[in-house]
């Protein structure tokens, strides 16, 4: 029990650290927007100038991984597969629960900070809503981290496990990068989305792990 409590506290500490960083970034967004935009603009200009123009088509496709409708469709489909076919009930709840929690928190923070979108030419239609934090970045990262946890617990082959985990994180990273390249988000919006995703996963994981152990012990799931 003592070991379990220390294990839980370490995750809470990591989640608290990510949350503090998120709030510090949010403070800059709210009270020093011009200074932060100058830093963001330098990164945006460098990124959009250095990447080949034919990457536009790639980023227009990859950005849909974080689209609100699409991500809910494939996450709920995957969670249903986990729950019904594999009997991974807590894994299904982890995946869906983290995404729903992210959606509520991200939307709430957008209304809190009300940051305008970048004032640069967009390469796609201008999205609705405020800019900080990036919903796409937070959603894809929270799903990727959840899948990293699930794969780590169920796959025994180390090489296959690591390949899948790298793929999940790479897709989240590429989706976030697409938002900057397409002009609809500042780099700090992306960082805020990632910090929010890490905060959620780190706080939720101890409860998930405890309940999963309990259900496996009771024979309620595989």
- Residue 50's pLDDT band (boundaries 50, 70, 90)? low
Number of H helices, E strands in the chain: 8, 0
**Any idea where the domains of the chain sit in the sequence?**
2-217
The two three-digit tokens of residue 159, written as one number: 């090489």
CATH class of 2-217: mainly alpha
The two three-digit tokens of residue 50, written as one number: 């250095």
Contact 191, 124 (CB under 8 A): no
Higher-confidence position of 180 and 124:
180
DSSP 85: I
Q: What is the pLDDT of residues 114-154, one digit of tens each?
A: 999 998 888 888 788 899 999 999 999 999 999 999 999 98
Alpha-carbon span 121 to 166, nearest angstrom: 32
Q: What is the pLDDT of residues 65-111, one digit of tens each?
A: 888 899 999 999 999 999 988 889 999 999 999 999 999 999 999 99
Contact 36, 192 (CB under 8 A): no
DSSP 66: G
> 186 CB contacts (<8 Å, ≥6 apart)?
36, 37, 40, 44, 115, 118, 131, 132, 180
Alpha-carbon span 122 to 181, nearest angstrom: 9
């Amino acid at each position: 029990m003592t070991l379990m409590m220390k294990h839980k506290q370490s995750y809470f500490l990591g989640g608290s650290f990510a949350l503090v960083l998120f709030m510090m970034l949010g403070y800059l967004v709210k009270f020093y927007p011009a200074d932060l935009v100058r830093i963001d603009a330098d990164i945006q200009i460098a990124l959009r100038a250095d990447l080949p123009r034919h990457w536009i088509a790639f980023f227009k496709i990859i950005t849909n991984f974080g689209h609100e409708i699409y991500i809910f469709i494939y996450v709920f489909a995957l969670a249903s597969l986990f729950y019904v076919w594999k009997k991974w009930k807590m894994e299904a709840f982890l995946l869906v629960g983290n995404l729903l929690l992210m959606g509520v928190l991200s939307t709430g923070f957008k209304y809190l900070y009300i940051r305008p979108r970048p004032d640069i030419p967009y390469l796609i239609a201008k999205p609705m809503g405020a800019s900080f934090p990036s919903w796409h970045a937070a959603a894809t990262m929270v799903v990727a981290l959840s899948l990293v946890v699930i794969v780590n617990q169920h796959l025994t082959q180390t090489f296959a496990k690591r390949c899948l985990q790298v793929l999940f994180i790479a897709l989240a990273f590429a989706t976030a990068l697409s938002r900057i390249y397409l002009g609809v988000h500042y780099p700090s919006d992306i960082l805020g989305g990632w910090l929010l995703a890490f905060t959620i996963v780190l706080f939720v994981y101890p409860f998930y792990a405890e309940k999963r152990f309990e259900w496996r012990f009771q024979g309620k799931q595989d």
